Amino acid sequence: MKKKSIRDLDVKGKKIFCRVDFNVPMNDGTIADDTRIRAALPTIRHLSEHGAMIILASHMGRPKGKVVEELRLAPVAKKLEDLLGKEVRYSEEVIGEDVKEKIAGLKEGDILLLENVRFHPGEEKNDEELAKAFAGLVDLYVNDAFGTAHRAHVSTEGVAKYLPSAAGFLIEKELEVLGNALSDPARPFTAIIGGAKVKDKIGVIDNLLDKVDNLIIGGGLAFTFVKAQGYEIGDSLLEEDKIELAKSFMEKAERNGVKFYLPIDAVVADSFSEKANSQVVDINNISDGWLALDIGPKTADLYRNVIKESNLVIWNGPMGVFEMEPFAQGTNAVAEALAKAGDTYSIIGGGDSARAVEHFGLSDQMDHISTGGGASLEFMEGKDLPGIAALDEK
């Protein structure tokens, strides 16, 4: 079902509650990466240029309903002001007298940023009273927080029940790119799934097996599959209770004609440390007491070739512990292969993979880097995202 867009709204002279995802990484009080703020600019500019009075709301971190000084949005207000080249007012309250006064002082085109919505205990409980209170302050609701669209909280879902609503440009773009990739994919279509948690990626692996031509597995989660193949994996990451499921995925791949790629060699270490002794071994040769922390060079070559021959690649989760230099090669190889494959449309599914691509300085060469890690995964699993489901239909 197509959702209303901000293009469909007459916003002139209207007060708009606009949810954005300004949950940016902070380093000693400064913003370490402003990607998410920049991603929201088209919507904010559109609303401002069309004469709306914009009340922005976002969370940062997980303060659990209490004020946490380090998680205030003051640095975000300043950054937004710099990026827009326009004044951004800021309230140190989520809701209350100061917010009311500041809203009353807004003129057409003006922007106010509220304090971190998760300082309010009602936000994550999706409290009805808080939703009504926000709705009572404004005329319209716009959601552009793709990264938080999988949460049913007041500012992402609850408030939409009491106001006419629409999606912002970022949500529209994310849905279009991810939706097109999954519903009408360019082929060969390859998904690369890595990272650490098998449990969190089961849904997406299952769903992708109905859609892709190639499924590449790397990262820590690969070793539950390697174990399921019957090899010993030493002290590598293992989710024992998922071995049977891993087997069933390999069988499903075979039934569906999906080529299923697992590591054929690995970089193993004698401890989980940058300074550990490490060596490359074939996958059937991982000894007791060693743990696999990256895919090996033969695997990297294999994965590179699959990427080169693909027309569409979705990537979620690093191939190894890329944060430690000795175990970064596999992730780097995949990122470089994607950067080099000019005709291959590359979609990075947020979270750690986006961080890895950034780390290797290759962000500019990817076609789409999603602003949502968890949200893009849930979308790819085929789940309804509450923050999007709640919006008015066209």
Ligand X SMILES: Nc1ncnc2c1ncn2[C@@H]1O[C@H](COP(=O)(O)OP(=O)(O)O)[C@@H](O)[C@H]1O
For the annotated catalytic residues, the residue numbers are 36, 197, 351, 374
Q: Which stretch binds ligand X15 (CB under 6 A): 103-111, 145-153, 256-264, 281-289?
A: 145-153
Letters for 235-254 (x = contact with ligand X by CB under 6 A, - = none) are: --x-----------------
Letters for 149-178 (x = contact with ligand X15 by CB under 6 A, - = none) are: --x---------------------------
What residues are paired with 55 via a beta bridge? 17, 112
To the question of whether residue 201 is assigned a binding role by annotation, the answer is yes
To the question of whether residue 323 is assigned a binding role by annotation, the answer is yes
373 binds ligand X (CB under 6 A): yes
Nearer to ligand X15, 346 or 371 (CB): 371
Q: Please give the size of the binding site for ligand X15, defined by CB under 6 A.
A: 11
The CA distance from 165 to 154, in Å, is 14
Do the strands 368-369 and 345-348 form a parallel or antiparallel pair, or are they unpaired? parallel
To the question of whether residue 218 is assigned a binding role by annotation, the answer is no
To the question of whether residue 118 is assigned a binding role by annotation, the answer is yes
Rounded (10°) CA dihedral 353, 338, 43, 80: 60
Q: Which stretch binds ligand X15 (CB under 6 A): 297-305, 322-330, 338-346, 367-375?
A: 367-375
DSSP string covering 281-345: EEGGGPPTT-EEEEE-HHHHHHHHHHHHT-SEEEEES-SS-TTSGGG-HHHHHHHHHHHH-TTSE
Binding residue for ligand X (CB under 6 A) from 11, 286, 321, 380?
Answer: 321
Greatest extent of the chain over all pairs of C-alpha atoms, in Å: 69
State the burial class of residue 354 (Cβ atoms within 10 Å of its Cβ: 0-12, 13-18, 19+): buried
State the burial class of residue 10 (Cβ atoms within 10 Å of its Cβ: 0-12, 13-18, 19+): exposed
Least distance from ligand X15 to the Cβ atom of residue 21, Å? 5
349 binds ligand X15 (CB under 6 A): no
279: left (phi over 0), alpha (psi -120 to 50) or beta: beta
Nearer to ligand X, 124 or 352 (CB): 352
Structure token digits, residue 215: 């499924």
Binding residue for ligand X15 (CB under 6 A) from 372, 379, 388, 391?
Answer: 372
The CA distance from 116 to 23, in Å, is 9
Letters for 153-192 (x = contact with ligand X by CB under 6 A, - = none) are: ----------------------------------------
The CA distance from 58 to 142, in Å, is 12
151 binds, among ligand X, ligand X15, none (CB under 5 to 8 A by kind): ligand X15
Summarize as ranges the residues that interact with ligand X (CB under 6 A): 195-197, 219-220, 237, 292-293, 316-318, 320-321, 323, 351-353, 373
